[in-house]
Structure 1
Amino acid sequence: MTSTSSRASRQRETWTSSTGFILAAIGSAVGLGNIWRFPGVAYENGGGAFLIPYLVALLTAGIPILFLDYAIGHRYRAAAPLALRRIARPAETLGWFQICLSFVIAVYYAAVIAWSLSYFVFSFDLRWGDNTAAFFTGEYLQVGAPEISSTVVPAVAIPLVLVWVAVLVVLVLGVTRGVQRVNVVFIPLLTVTFAALVVRALTLPGASDGLNAFFTPNWSALTDPAVWIAAYSQIFFSLSIAFGIMITYASYQRRKANMTSSGLVVAFANSSFEILAGIGVFATLGFMAQQASTTVDQLEGLTGPTLSFITFPAVISQMPGGNVFGMLFFGCLVLGGFTSIISILLGVAASVQEKFGLGQKAAAVTVSVICAALSLALFSTTSALLALDTVDQWANNIGIVFSAIVMAVLVIWVLRKGPTLLAHLNTVSTFRLGWWWIGLVAVLAPLYLGYMLYERVRTLIVEGYEDLPQWYLNTFGWGTIGLVVVVAILLTVIPWRGRDDPSFVPWPPLREEPASQQQPVLPEQEEVR
């Protein structure tokens, strides 16, 4: 390795404090899915009873895999491709698979933030009118037939450009001056704003009906395997695990950072926000049901873009002070989405920086410009909504789940790094793990995720998706996964020009322990080449 890259390695940025890291990790985990996905998933899968499998999934899957990401990133001090390469060279391909998934997700995720930004402005005069569905899919997005369209929608393209300019600025400023500062401001602001929104929702007529619908348990749902799959899916996708984000974030932690305690704070803060979102959303839906002289179970559009851009605008138009409520709601979507997208792209930029020996700013500009160009070309057109929904379905339900299975099997079973990573976490953390952690990651995770992946693949092959033509699913669905695999392999075979240091030594233990209390001993040096 050259002296320049040696200095770059020594001068790697770090979070200025544990609080900065925790707020950034919470910012990554708390995003659009917390607000528009969790409430509907919980309601459709047993209501209050859903909280039982949800908690089980958090404790047996979400937190253990989050710790796995933390351990890999912190011990090997790099983004996913280089961190996994430092464990074993062939594992680099898995790292690039995760980073390519992050890249794909960022390309379409920015479009949803742009929609939210537009609707924040629309809230001032309730521009969506009485027919919110026709406005969203017609006048605003101008949705056409399933096709590959090049017709740009200016109302989407303009806020999308603004989103990408903001992302570029934050990434260029770096980890401490950019990402950390944004999260230190945005996460408290998001919390206060959303809390105000929830308080307002609880004062609406009919709010109690909505809360009863949300929390009333359907105990029979606990015997349905689909409910448990839904719980594991929600936890899994909500925590930003297994696609390179948390590996990268952990790599910027200081040597003596308390990793497991930070992870617990992040995990429970994320889940608390989801429950708060459920309360706010269903209190509002209770008001909507009362206004329509119906019940919550008769309402449609309780999840995803339909909830946020069709159902909620309809509610906002009916309530006193709807303008302010709308600004709060869509402002929260913008804040949550923005903190998530910068975490997604930080991992991509860091990986490119390390692989190609670029400077931090050069890597940030390169990644942001390429990602923005693709985002504008694909998701500011009349085919954006259908393409976004299809790519999201395959990237999340196929790509990320597959990535988690391979990572658990490869790192724990094949490369036998479970004891090493366990010892590392226990050395730097106050909340100590036992061998049960390895069991959860090595046995339970591949089993439930494998079943989840099998069921999803079978359903998509047998039943298709949203009645879309097969050529469309092959292009934007299976084609996305295939492209990610090919690009991951190509990036692996390209020679390293950056921080691939053959003399790299993982951080050794910080203290000695009595033999009777000692965890598996960390190796003094691990081979990279």
Structure 2
Amino acid sequence: MTERQQTFTSRWGMMLAMLGMAVGTGNIWRFPRIAAANGGGSFLVAWVCFLLLWSVPLLLVEFSMGKATRYGTVGAFSRLIGKKFAWMGAWVAFTATAIMFYYSVVAGWTFRYFWAALTGELESEIPGALWSRFAESGWSVLTHALAMGIGVLVVARGVRGIERAATFLIPSLFVLVILLAARAVTLPGAGGGLAFLFTPNWSDLTDARIWLEALTQNAWDTGAGWGLALTYAIYMRRNEDTALNSFVLGFGNNSVSLLAGIMVMCTVFSVGPALATQIAASPAGFEKAITAYPGLQNRLEAGIQEPAAVEAALRLGIELEEAAIPGFFANNAYSVEDRLEIARASGVLEGDQVAHAVLGSGNNGLTFIWVPQIFQTLPFGRALTVLFFLALSFAAMTSLIAMIELATRVLVDGGMTRRRAITVVGSFGFLLGVPSALSMAFFDNQDFVWGVGLMLSGFFFAFAVLRYGVSRFREQFINTASSDITVGRWWDWAIYLVIIQSVILMLWWIYQAIDLTDLRGTLTPFSSFNVGTLLVQWAMVLTAFILMNRWLARKTVDDERGEQGVEGSIS
């Protein structure tokens, strides 16, 4: 059987592989954190809306392009809208591959912490000590290599290897997340977490930031616009449905996020009162919490205007204007005892307030430093911690496997043998991931640059459909004889909205990076988070692919059908 002829053996295996592609570490930790920071139930309303307005429409595009063309991203764009647009497919492939370089590092982190939880090492560690020793060290490089190695071995076995891995990993992941969520809802105080997650404050929906964050989370949740679904769709059988599969994938993936949200929020709200007592009880506990939870510091700074806090500050000889400055509660110029007394007076060091602060804090290190600490306060805490990091490892690996397959498929389309393509992807994946393993600054930079790049990828997919003809695309590739359900004209309008959403989202991310008081610093390419570093890296890649477009199209599309597009050329 040739590479082009391989298909998934069953619809069940295909859907599990697709879910593995979509479900990743962002579902298990990023979703609860973003939901908590943006109103809980209010965020959930916007998040569900964008599942239908962003994720499902783009998944339909990817499924259809992959199934119809039987090419990876470069060939799919060439076949659908002409060879002069091969560079768009190359951008999509490169962006997902650039994410693969540092995503493998994250997968390695999950391995290390699973082992530490299993052996009990986490229980004996000072919070953050293992992270401080491990991140940016040779051990991080080693676990990164292990993750890439496992991913390469799975992909080397072809579609059957991917399907077998997904058949084990995805059901196991769902079982683990369901077990953790079920345990969380039985905890004392868990009702507060459920109420927060599922009770919207309708007035919050007038805040544009909530909608923008919900759109961002959906883009990360489902993998829509990454090119991953397109790659797996190459291996769908000819009579396989695309419409129903897209809906199942979107809702199935987001159900993992929802279960993770229930797990984390119920747990944090349950331990919130005890954690608040621990923080308020001693200067050492307070100082540790201020460092660990930036969200707590933000809440304290907002609460410093409370009359009781103002009175406490004056009693300690601290002027209000002097105290109400950013970073006051972490400022060592004031004694930790004085800062703690003002914090107590503010009323912020209470269970629910602390729970909100924990959920809204941190990013990369928070999962690995403080989630274990939260679980260890519960009965069977060690077992829960082991299950959590096992689930996180499974989620990381299923997404990494899809990224490796995407890059491999593009090289195979370009004429490489599969074995050589996998060797190239694995080697470069390891080498180009090493900087992210050794430097969190470099990791953050790549996460920022190519995370925003995904929005441009989504734009390119929507543009391809517009150029081909939205209604024509729907009738020819979505509503086919093998379709289980019919997609209506709402999808046409959703594609136009994807264009608008992509532009708004990219402008929003860039706006966040602009510092009008330091335009020179904003535009320098030597920074983790600014417009300059993003524009320079984007410009280099886009320029290279546009200049190479003719070569890319010639290497990938092996007949003249790419000039006219896919119509009439797919049996």
Q: Where on the TM-score scale, by shorter chain, does this alignment land: which range?
A: 0.7 to 0.9
Equivalents in 2 of 1:374, 1:309: separation in Å? 23
Q: Is 1:255 matched with 2:235? A: no
CA distance in 2, matches of 1:488, 1:14: 30
What's 1:104 paired with?
98
* Residue in structure 2 matched with residue 350 of structure 1 by the alignment: 409
Alignment equivalent of 2:68, drawn from 75, 88, 104: 75
Contact 1:69 1:242 in 2 (8 A): yes
Displacement, 1:75? 1.0
1:435-473 C-alpha deviation (Å, 9 max, x unpaired): 3312210x21111221221122122123799x9995223
The one-letter amino acid of 1:53's match is A
Contact residue 86 and residue 553 of structure 2 kept, 8 A: no
- 1:165 is paired with a residue whose SS is helix
Given candidates 473, 481, 484, the residue that maps to 2:541 is 484
Match of 2:84 among 90, 104, 113: 90
Alignment of 1:140-289 (within 5 A): 140-141=134-135, 153-176=137-160, 178-289=161-272
Residue matched to 2:314: none
Partner residue of 1:321 out of 366, 380, 384: 380
Asked whether the 8 Å contact 2:75–2:557 carries over to 1, the reply is yes
Q: Secondary structure at the match of 1:430?
A: coil
| 1:266 Cα offset (Å) | 0.7
Total equivalences in the alignment:
485
Larger Rg: 2
Choose the corresponding residue for 1:402, options 453, 456, 474: 456
**1:436 aligns to 2:490 (yes or no):** yes
1:330 and 1:453, CA in 2 relative to 1: closer, same or farther beyond 3 A?
same
Residue 515 of structure 2: aligned partner: 462
1:359 is matched with: 417
SS of 1:37's equivalent in the other structure is helix
Question: Per-residue deviation at 1:497?
Answer: 7.3
Shift of 1:174: 0.8
Partner of 2:347: none
Amino acid in the other structure paired with 1:193: L
CA distance in 1, matches of 2:562, 2:483: 20
Q: 1:490–1:234: structure 2 CA closer, same or farther, 3 Å change rule?
A: same
Distance in 1 (CA, whole Å) between partners of 2:24 and 2:382 is 22
Cα drift, residue 432 of structure 1: 0.9
Distance in 1 between residues matched to 2:394 and 2:222, nearest whole Å:
17
**Matched residue, 1:368:** 426
Contact 1:105 1:395 in 2 (8 A): yes
The yes-or-no answer on 1:133 pairing with 2:128 is yes
Give 1:252's aligned amino acid.
Y
Following superposition, the deviation at residue 128 of structure 1 comes to 6.3
SS at match of 1:127: helix
Question: For residue 353 of structure 2, what is the aligned residue in structure 1?
Answer: 297
Q: CA deviation at 1:395?
A: 1.2
Range with bigger deviation, 40-49 or 473-482 = 473-482
Query: Aligned runs of 1:2-17 on 2, under 5 Å?
Result: 8=2, 11-17=4-10
Residue identity opposite 1:488 in structure 2: F
- Aligned partners of 1:209 and 1:496: how far apart in 2? 56
Quote the Cα distance in structure 2 between the aligned partners of 1:423 and 1:82: 19
Task: Quote the offset at 1:206 in angstroms.
Answer: 3.0
Amino acid at match of 2:568: E
Q: Secondary structure at the match of 2:568?
A: coil
* Cα distance in 1 between the residues matched to 2:378 and 2:540: 46
Q: CA deviation at 1:483?
A: 4.0
- Distance 1:327-1:476 versus aligned 2 partners, 3 A rule: farther
Give the Å deviation of 1:125: 1.3
Q: Displacement, 1:365?
A: 1.5
CA positional deviation for 1:131: 3.8
Partner of 2:443: 388
| Structure 2 residue identity aligned to 1:120 | F
User: How far 1:331 sits from its partner (Å)?
Assistant: 0.6
Which of 122, 130, 138 in structure 1 is aligned with 2:116? 122
In 2, the alpha carbon distance for the partners of 1:310 and 1:495 equals 45
Q: CA 1:372/1:296 → structure 2, altered by over 3 Å: closer, same or farther?
A: farther
Q: Distance in 1 between matches of 2:424 and 2:554?
A: 16
5+ residue gaps, structure 1: 1-6, 143-152, 509-521
The residue number in structure 2 matching 1:423 is 476
Residue identity opposite 1:399 in structure 2: G
Name the structure 2 match of 1:414. 467
Aligned twin of 2:568? 524
Identity of aligned residues (%): 26
Superimposed CA distance per residue, residues 240-277 of structure 1 (whole angstroms, 9 cap, x where no aligned partner) = 12121111111111111111111111111011111111
For residues 471-510 of structure 1, the C-alpha deviation after alignment (integer angstroms, 9 at most, x for no partner) is 223686444433432453365343667652316599x9xx
Paired residues of 2:83 and 2:553 also in contact (CA < 8 A)? no
What is the rounded CA distance, in whole Å, between the counterparts of 2:388 and 2:522 in structure 1? Answer: 31
**Contact kept? 2:63, 2:233, Cα under 8 Å:** yes
Q: Is the 8 A contact 1:207 1:287 kept in 2?
A: yes
Change (3 A) 1:415 1:100: same
CA distance in 1 between counterparts of 2:396 and 2:113 reads 14
478, 481, 503: which one pairs with 1:450?
Answer: 503
Offset from partner CA, 1:401-458 (integer Å, 9 cap, x none): 112123312x2333436413432211131211123312210x2111122122112212
Letter in 2 for 1:36: W
Q: Give, as a single letter, the amino acid of the residue that structure 2 aligns with 1:66.
A: L
1:500 aligns with: 557
| Letter in structure 1 aligned against 2:155 | L
Most deviating of 345-354 and 386-395: 386-395
The letter for the 1-side match of 2:138 is P
**Counterpart residue identity of residue 375, structure 2:** I
Distance in 1 (alpha carbons) for counterparts of 2:446 and 2:561: 38
Match of 1:332 among 388, 391, 397: 391
Amino acid at match of 2:353: D
| Secondary structure in structure 1 of the residue aligned to 2:253 | helix
- Name structure 2 gaps, 5 residues minimum: 278-349
Q: CA 1:70/1:524 → structure 2, altered by over 3 Å: closer, same or farther?
A: same
Counterpart in the other structure of 2:346:
none
Contact 1:210 1:296 in 2 (8 A): no
Pair 1:461–1:204, CA change in 2 (3 A): same
Alignment check: 8 A CA contact 2:83 2:550 kept? no
Provide the TM-score with structure 2 as the length reference: 0.79
Give me the whole-angstrom Cα distance separating, in 2, the residues matched to 1:204 and 1:55: 27
Rounded Cα–Cα distance in structure 2 between residues aligned with 1:390 and 1:326: 30
